Chains A and B, each alone.
Chain A
Amino acid sequence: MKSQRPSFFPVAVLAGLGLVAAIIAVYWLAPNRLVQVHPSSMHWNGADFVDIEFEQNETNPIVQVDLLEKSEMYKKNPADRIVTRALPVSPNTPAGKVQFNGLSDKGHAASPGVYTIHLKTAQGPSDLKAKNKAVETVMGYSSKIFYFHVGSAMVFLICFIGCALLSVAYLLLRRNKAYRMMAINADYIAYAMAEIGVVFSFVVLITGPIWAKPNWGVFWTWEPRLLLTLLTSFLFIGYLVLRNYAGSDDSGRRMSAGVAVIGLPAAYFIHMAVELWGGNHPKVLTGGGLHGSDISTTFSIAVSAIFLYASYLISLRVRTHRLQDAVEELFLDLSELEDRQ
């Protein structure tokens, strides 16, 4: 009996060591100050005022500074950019300087985040870039939470997608006698992935606000990725609740698989809708923010440790569910035997 059960002990040790290594790396190796190199943007953290400085061009002086919100979204077509604030500059001063007070042109409070700065001369856009001190002073120690935050977010997304795909496989294969066992295994893994996905979505939703408070000035903002994480984790929680109440017989499996299958395209649409709605999430990975070997080393150690740990947890949960079902079946057999006597 003992030999049939796979032992996860080595994986557990490896995952534990990995997590310790990740914590050490984040503490010692990762830089204490993360400099975001983004020459034509500023990171406004919700403070009252931010100074924006730039070189003044003598032959073609700059007369206006445009602050553009939702910079990522309107990158493709510069003509579509929304000007949050157009700040006039006196062309006579040799060094240009304007102050941003966190209000949009309509007088609403602008949301904290990354703003693109555009300098304009009387003839049109200027080639000059603004130099802004705010860019370099934003991320202090708080940036270190990023190594766990991003890794957990990756695990969460992979669990979600994996759960949906395995559920599709279950629904397609379950009636086929030859693949019946395979389908049930897929469903066990999908269930475990949903559980671990919810756990890691909590990690993401807790570490995110801890980072956001010092950097954005608020714990929570109605921002695309936050919304996507929150809504998809609700879907997952729905999956788990359904699974708990419907039980692990065939109908319970089918229903929860249905939720997961609907969830994947739904998550895609939530993503699209909230992106269109507007956003300012720091795009560290896709925006080329991983500079320096220290950062990328720490990042890869942390992400591999989290992945290892998550896969250990998933395999543990799969085994637990299997054993639960086996125990239930044994109970049924037992009561049948008792009935016969």
Chain B
Amino acid sequence: MRGLQSIWLVLKKDVVVELRNREVVATMVLFSILLVVIVAFSLSIDETRARLVGSGIVWIVVLFAGTLGLGRVFEREKENGCLTGLLLSPAGPGAIFIAKVLGLFVFMLITEAITIPLAFVFIGMSIPTEGIWILVLALLLGTIAFAFVGTLFAAMFANARLKDVLLPVVVYPVVSPVLIAGVKLTEISMGVGLESDLEGWLRLMAAFSVLFTAVPTWIFGKVMLD
């Protein structure tokens, strides 16, 4: 019960700060839209090509916008040794970690909810109504896995020089299964991929999300505390 309360308090703090200055979500949304435009230009997109590469664009946006968000997760905590203070508080490292993950998860979901429909409109992709739940499920699972893995590394690299370079180098290989499965699921939801593979990809995505909520939470305490 106490754990839940601490999670809620840290999460509330992050959300309130975000509501006051709207730094993270605004930059993420702007960046995502720019990314869609740039990718659409560089692939000289048309309707047939949109069907083939559209699902990839969706996940590039999720991944890159997420990375942008990752850089900010512990940015405010760096000043005045705030991170150390948080970790020393009676909340415990697990609660802090989960609160931070949830914060990133919420910001990423808001970004996705704004950007992905826009991307569909811009690129001219279409999705059948019965495919929407697959897309939403894939995005939810993918985002939660990305948030857990990413937040762990963001915390570890918070004080490293070269943080901005190191973070993608380590995070992208780890989340690449999510990216592959996500792209395939999105293809299936748009009616492009093989319907028979749906269960396999969903199972992979779910297994990844479950394991990578548990392992980072365990490691966080081991790595961050002296």
Contacts and interface: CB of A to CB of B under 8 A. Distances in A.
Interface string B191-206: 0000011001100100
A189 interface: no
Interface string A228-264: 0001101101110110011000110011011101110
A239 B215 CA distance: 17
Interface size class of B (residues with CB under 8 A): 35 or more
Please report whether the interface of chain A is mostly helix, strand, loop or mixed according to DSSP: helix
Contacts, number: 90
Contact of B204 (A245, A257, A269): A269
Contacts of B157: 242, 255
A258 B156 contact: yes
Given A255-B156, A258-B152, A276-B201, A269 B177 contact: yes
Contacts of B180: 273-274, 277
**Which of B160, B174, B207, B226 is most buried by chain A, counting CB atoms within 10 A of its CB?**
B174
Interface in A85-129: none
Given A237-B169, A270-B177, 19 more contacts: A172-B222, A231-B173, A238-B169, A241-B162, A242-B156, A245-B162, A254-B222, A258-B152, A258-B219, A259-B156, A261-B219, A262-B149, A262-B174, A265-B211, A269-B177, A273-B180, A274-B180, A276-B200, A276-B204
Given A255-B223, A269-B208, A274-B180, A232 B173 contact: yes
A241 B169 contact: yes
Please report whether the interface of chain B is mostly helix, strand, loop or mixed according to DSSP: helix
A250 B211 CA distance: 27
Interface size class of A (residues with CB under 8 A): 20 to 34
Nearest to B207: A269
A327 to B, nearest CB: 23
Interface in B162-179: 162, 166, 169-170, 172-174, 176-177
A158 interface: no
Given A237-B169, A238-B173, A259-B170, A273 B181 contact: yes
B64 interface: no
Contacts of A29: none
B174 A266 contact: yes
Contacts of A336: none
A258 B222 contact: yes
Contacts of B174: 235, 262-263, 266
A259 B199 CA distance: 30
